[in-house]
Amino acid sequence: MEKIERTEGTFAKNFKVVMDLQALPSSLSVDIFVKLADSGFIFYDSERGPRPRIYMIEEGTNPKIIPTFVDIKGEELDFKTIKDKWDKEEEWRKELYKCRMSPIHYFTNYVSTNPKPTQNELEDYLSTINMQATEDSDDLENRDMIERRKEYAKGIIMEDIQALKVVRDKVEKNYANETLKLLKEVIIKHNLSGKVDKAVVDAMIRDILKTPTKGCSEDLKYYITDKRGLWDKPLLGMTDKDVLVRLWKQI
């Protein structure tokens, strides 16, 4: 394989780096070294080992910049900060992909101001973006649905989800604080200070079961069995505590 004799910074489609691992800076992991090389920089420590070499793999269109060598000469650099930054960027890229692929994920985690969106709220949102269910929605090859999904994905950009996340975090923080406040009411009413969570959950379920089903709120109607019109105790037992305490507050 022919060694590249070009000035650093010229273009090549693909290249290979050959490096003595002894020359790898002590604070630099191999995975971060590779990411830095892909970004245009090859870090090495000349006090630990020889300068890395670059070899051409193939030339062609869609060229790539040959990285620039950076010799730290025994200095300690904070590569952890670089890794943390990349990890955060990768996390956002994954979230962007999820949002583009799933309107439900986007609405539930970014758009909705309700920490626990209802089915009706979700359906209303899907209707506004022309992504509501149809008779042939299950047909993944349906051309109309594919085109609608493409148009939807184009409208989801990184800057938007990052801005919405700030608002969403505040919503979730307020929701968590409200949950703690409501749970405190349950604890005080039943003198459950110092008791485990199960005791608090059991107390809320008992209160609901003692309440007549007739005239209950719309949210609570979901927990009534169809056959006998009684409370569905197993379903109440499977309900998340934050949802259950809000149902308890409605009785």
Tens digit of pLDDT for each residue in 100-156?
Answer: 999 999 999 999 999 988 888 999 999 998 887 655 455 555 777 788 888 899 999
Buried/exposed 70-81: b ≥16 CB within 10 Å, e otherwise: eebeeeeeebee
Higher local confidence (pLDDT), 216 or 15: 216
For the record, the structure tokens of 33 come out as 């070294």
Q: How many CB atoms lie within 10 A of CB 40?
A: 13
φ, ψ for residue 16 (rounded to 5)? Answer: -125, 140
Tell me how many domains the chain contains.
Answer: 3
Under the banding of pLDDT at 50, 70 and 90, the label for residue 8 is: very low
The top-scoring range by mean pLDDT among 42-46, 121-125, 148-152, 203-207 is 203-207
- 128 falls within a domain: yes
Q: Which of 156, 184, 201 is the last residue of a domain?
A: 156
Q: Are residues 141 and 171 in the same domain?
A: no
Q: Which of 110, 134, 156 is the last residue of a domain?
A: 156
For the record, the structure tokens of 205 come out as 């379920």
- 6 falls within a domain: no
Q: Are residues 164 and 96 in the same domain?
A: no
Query: Measured at the alpha carbon of residue 223, what is the angle toward residues 221 and 227, in degrees to the nearest 5?
Result: 90
Does the pLDDT value for residue 251 go beyond 50? Answer: yes
Q: Are residues 167 and 234 in the same domain?
A: yes
- 1 falls within a domain: no
Q: Are residues 220 and 142 in the same domain?
A: no
- Cα distance between residue 117 and residue 192, in whole Å: 30
Q: Are residues 32 and 112 in the same domain?
A: no
Under the banding of pLDDT at 50, 70 and 90, the label for residue 11 is: very low
- 55 falls within a domain: yes
Q: Are residues 109 and 152 in the same domain?
A: yes
Cα of first residue to Cα of last residue in the chain, in angstroms, is: 78
Q: Are residues 133 and 201 in the same domain?
A: no
Find the domain containing 64 and state its range. 11-75
* Secondary structure element (H or E) that encloses residue 18, with its range: strand 14-18
Taking the C-alpha atoms of 132, 138, 139 and 140 in order, what is their torsion angle to the nearest 10 degrees? 80
- 206 falls within a domain: yes
For the record, the structure tokens of 65 come out as 């910049």
- Cα distance between residue 25 and residue 229, in whole Å: 70
Q: Are residues 109 and 52 in the same domain?
A: no
- 26 falls within a domain: yes
Under the banding of pLDDT at 50, 70 and 90, the label for residue 160 is: very high
Tokens 């245009």 locate to 40
Q: Are residues 102 and 31 in the same domain?
A: no
What radius of gyration, in Å, describes the C-alpha atoms of the chain?
Answer: 29
Q: Are residues 150 and 169 in the same domain?
A: no
- 2 falls within a domain: no
Say what the pTM is: 0.66
- 143 falls within a domain: yes
Q: Are residues 90 and 142 in the same domain?
A: yes
